[in-house]
Structure 1
Amino acid sequence: MSYTDKIRDMRSELRELNKTIPDATQGFGTLSKAVKVNGVLSLKEKEFVALGMAIAQRCEPCINFHVEALMKAGGTREELGDVLAMGIQMGGGPGLMYAGHALACWDELAAKE
């Protein structure tokens, strides 16, 4: 499966999670927006931090989303290399991404019953 497919599939799982627990996911969305638009760091710098943490936490959906966001924020491949090196050094999923997988798994298994 391509990374584009993985991102698309994760977004689909998150839409289902949003329907199931809208207050929790809306709260998370509000927090995400607030930390991205406020503060002294640029969006690109914040995406560097988020990607490094995603690597350290071993959250593949987070990694995919933050690589995409970093590209949109103007990051370069060379900058990515530095972030990856720091992520490796810190070595260690954020619950939201894995919660989406858990709900999708439940729904698939429940449909087979």
Structure 2
Amino acid sequence: MTQSYSEKISDMRRELRALNALVPETAKGFGTLSKAVKDNGPLSVKEKEYIALGMSVILRCEPCINFHVEALMKAGATREELGDVLAMAVQMGGGPGLMYAGHALACWDELAKA
């Protein structure tokens, strides 16, 4: 049985909590970096999340895609804006980008129904 995107996100969070418990200083450092990147600079959080999503598609990191789609929804992104970012990722990543862009859109559509 295929997991839903919500289940995948929940499972990844559980795995990350275990990793964080094992290497707390690394987790703390990564959290500090993430906060510094998002809280500073001329780009909005939404714009930064679009960049992160595009990179996630190109790097073929499905857990990253799921987290950044979720973050984009919280940041007020629209499905049409998502499509524009995914189109750019496909242009940069070719066929593999197209496949992972499909994952990102399916994740968005599922989370939008929740």
Q: TM-score with structure 2 length normalisation?
A: 0.78
Structure 1: gaps of 5 or more residues: 93-113
- What is the aligned counterpart of 2:89 among 87, 93, 97? 87
Quick one: distance in 2 between partners of 1:83 and 1:4? 22
Paired position in structure 2 for 1:13: 15
Paired AA for residue 52 in structure 1: G
Quick one: distance in 2 between partners of 1:73 and 1:12? 23
Quick one: distance in 1 between partners of 2:41 and 2:86? 24
Quick one: distance in 2 between partners of 1:25 and 1:86? 31
**Structure number, greater radius of gyration:** 1
**3-state SS of paired residue (1:39):** coil
The answer to whether 1:66 aligns with 2:68 is yes
Structure 2: gaps of 5 or more residues: 95-114
Quick one: distance in 2 between partners of 1:91 and 1:10? 25
Identity within the alignment, %: 73
Which structure 2 residues correspond to residues 1-113 of structure 1 after superposition, within 5 A? Answer: 1-91=3-93
Q: TM-score with structure 1 length normalisation?
A: 0.79
Task: Render the CA deviation track for 1:56-99: whole Å, top value 9, x for unaligned.
Answer: 0000000000000000000000000011011112218xxxxxxx
Quick one: distance in 1 between partners of 2:73 and 2:9? 14
After superposition, the CA RMSD in angstroms is 1.0
Quote the offset at 1:3 in angstroms.
0.2
Ranges of 4+ aligned residues in structure 1 off by more than 4 Å: none
User: Which structure's relative contact order is higher, taking Cα pairs within 8 Å and 6+ residues apart?
Assistant: 1
**3-state SS of paired residue (1:26):** helix
Quote the offset at 1:40 in angstroms.
0.4
Quick one: distance in 2 between partners of 1:90 and 1:31? 26
